[in-house]
Structure 1
């Protein structure tokens, strides 16, 4: 188990704090605050000033609207800076709380940002950071780190002084090397002592940043829902492209091959016996094989029976063509479902029955399919030897991934000696009336 501290606070409780990278991470985080604080302060002052001055003539209104979005880039930069002192593996504090617009364009992006609570939390952080926080961070680094470093370098300062004296931190006048080395010794004692409050301040500063900029639980759920919807859109787009390819092959290349096969067949009948007739016969046979292969390819892309008769007829067709006898319980007609769901279930059952024929040694199999009103459940059972392992390269891993894209689940129960039960369950709405077997 990885027991490394993720933030400065747990690191401070360990005896190895000074020997770790945490003191320098904390110093870098606090010192780097000025690199973002100064630009944020200037931007806030310029936009607010120009917007207030030009507001009466309406020119300043867009500037004031832009002022409200200053926190968005500020939050993005600060979440990245947070990684210096927050090494959470899940990186949840560093994730953006913003959703992706469903429509393209700047206006759609702006409308969404103005409606999100995260935008206003980021604006509050930007104002706080620009007006106060970076000053406090820089002052803390100057006192807690700069003071001992100045004391440590007293002998060097004395050696470089032209008049042979140096005023340490504007308080003590040092004119001899013994006094200079005494100051350096004091700095050597102060440095490790002051690195502890420096780390504590960096931890507090990071906690404030997380509180304002890290996504809330509801926002994380929204982002997860958006990812799920995006994944579903990709699946639907993929299925639509499959259908387009299937139609192009069916209506284009297949029809041309059918015409070519007929022409070669007629030419074969008209040709006199001899080498030409033999070559025409060979070409006719090859064209027939190519046509059969193309039909199999089209069937693999999107089976016509699925389009014509729906999932009920397609599953019945799969059961009839199975190498192992299948008892198909499809007495209750399934409604028309989204194309992506029907295709995933169809190819899933094809894969399952193919595995039954290749690996299980079963004498019979059973297929049941039911729609509960909110979800589709399909079970494939066989009386084989059992012991099915999805990790053994049987195609079940890819099937599980395809079902998961649709927010479904694949469950396999296969004890040694059998029986093996493969269950698919996909939540899906009804899109049409029930279909029957052909």
Structure 2
């Protein structure tokens, strides 16, 4: 098993060697492609904000009040912006979810389309509108600041060349007139290049985090709060009952069945083979032994022994070794996991790999286990023909129910022709 590579920019920034990976270039591509989107939105908003600001400034300095046509224009245009923002936000959000893939490999679920009228009555519609306004206001201001810093660094780097072709060149806070005087500033500029690379990555990561926060959540959290609490209580009750059953089977039924099998075996030794009781006794002994195997499988199904002995990463590695499809496991887990989370993740991987072997017609698969703060992320991907559908009885519906019982969520991407990606996010707070 190897350390899992980061799946999003924020995680990549925390890794050593960030500057020599593809992530800085992905961050730069994300920022560059943001510029036209934010620019168009900013210009559209400026058409309303500029006259409004000028009118307020004029009133503040005792100037004449704004004319009636200007007031009508501002009222109509302002109302149009507020009224159309949820509709415009649909197109902007769709584009931004797609662009988010430049710096974040995790899928972003889109809200269910409920018609145009629902854009004004759902939280998702107003979150998308809020993100559109944020993209038109805060992002351009941040980009201008970063652009000034980049221009300053470029000026420091090229200062020796400029000083050799002109007199009295202003470099940041000083004036130089020879390349020798400008060399220290150029050295500082070169040393600041890695800092700027990291800064651009931080800017892109912050923007992506806001996009995921506003565009990735679906559903009304207020309406679902009680459902979530009830589901948590049910999951806790299930876990307690599972432990009780496991303890009763392991400490009660299993020893008695072992003793019964032993007594039947001893009885077979005392009964002659030609005795009428020999055959029924042998059948009873074999049935007892078979029942012991079945009971061990039941106990194993409640909580696999490999999970208790090897931990989640080791147990998943064992599942990968038993799969008929070659499976690569990447695990990046630090610290213990809650038992419910660990058990749920194990059965998710087990069921998903079983589906790959039976339905996907894949040549290889990959399992990725990562811990992102208080969330355990499990991803199972394969290169099969895709087209997985929870409604066709492939076990995905039951898998989603198991994940939901652990207060997690399951995301599925399986276009026709493949590949298929199953992503499960489970809480792992201690």
Which TM-score bucket, shorter chain as reference? Answer: 0.3 to 0.5
Could you tell me the TM-score, scaled by structure 1's length?
A: 0.45
Which of these two proteins has the greater Rg computed from alpha carbons?
A: 1
Could you tell me the TM-score, scaled by structure 2's length?
A: 0.45
